[in-house]
Amino acid sequence: MNLHPELLKIDAYPELQPYKTQPRQMQAAARGKVGELRLGFSMKNGRSILDDLYRVAPLLVQQALYWDEAMPELPICSIISVGGGILQGDRYTIEITVRENACAQVNSQGFNRIQRMDANYASQYQRLVAESGAYLEYAPDFTTPYRDSRFVNHTDLIVAPDATVLYGEMMMSGRKHHHADERFGFDLLSMSVNVMRPDGQSLFEEKVLIEKNDETVNFASVMKDYDAFANIMCLTTPEIAQRILDAYEPVFDEDFPRAVSGVSKLPNEAGLMLRVAGVETYDVRAQVRRFWQLVRENARNRTLPDYLWWR
């Protein structure tokens, strides 16, 4: 199976050069280790539907469901991994397109578990496209890197000026309740995002890179006393972004809060970024939910259901 060209570019990342050994069990990017998923949403007869679906195991989506009572017009797809998490040598590609004036939510069935590795690494490329007037919520659950794991993810976000995209990255420091050395015990976690307009104009790029034995993760201004964090982008019009910014109240308590959070403007009037650090996943989820609620209210005049799936 031919690899996606962007996965080949990821292979050249400098942080991956120490991890080029081949697994003894099965060669990296061998058949069965390359997962692909393509989803396309468009308006048909006045309704947003999933009209394009291509999948290659271990990535799977079965169908779009309309179970959100607060936004019944929203097709919802859950990404299912039929394997036991992401393994060494795995290569995944996820591509999602929301056509003009359509809407969609894509989430995951549960935590994205990056298994322990003794050779090579795992990589993933994502490409999300939101055309004019489109609305997309891309909200996968937490990524949990196990001890000695190596995972690289790169995402290209192509967003029309009048579209709205909620893009979430939520990460754990490791299996902190499993063994003491699991906290930031992974070898590498690299998460990069490139945001651009459909005409190719680059708006900004961001990269989170955490490597083993990096003492800065325990600095007071980084992740001291916290084990879960989230970067949530709302890519939208300047008017909507300003309303959200005015309504969001940051969280900070000098007497050690369960979570700290704040919202800032993204470059080139691209939208907003929510950053959260928390003790546990549920502390972070609560802050993400507050932000998500404001995005829906201001971008779609809708609310979030009380039974939001990952509360």
Domain positions in the chain are 5-300
Q: Give the pLDDT of residue 225.
A: 83
Average pLDDT over residues 225-252: 95
Name the pLDDT band for 1 (thresholds 50, 70, 90): low
Q: Give the pLDDT of residue 311.
A: 46
pLDDT at 259 over 60: yes
Q: Which helix (H) or strand (E) holds 243?
A: helix 238-247
Q: Measured between alpha carbons, how far is 230 from 168 in angstroms, rounded to an integer?
A: 7
Specify the higher pLDDT residue, 32 or 194: 194
Q: Give the pLDDT of residue 219.
A: 79
HSE on the CB side for 83, CA within 13 Å?
18
Burial 254-290 (b: 16+ CB within 10 A, else e): eeeeebbbebeebeeebbbbbebbbbebebbbbbbeb
- What pTM value is reported for the model? 0.94
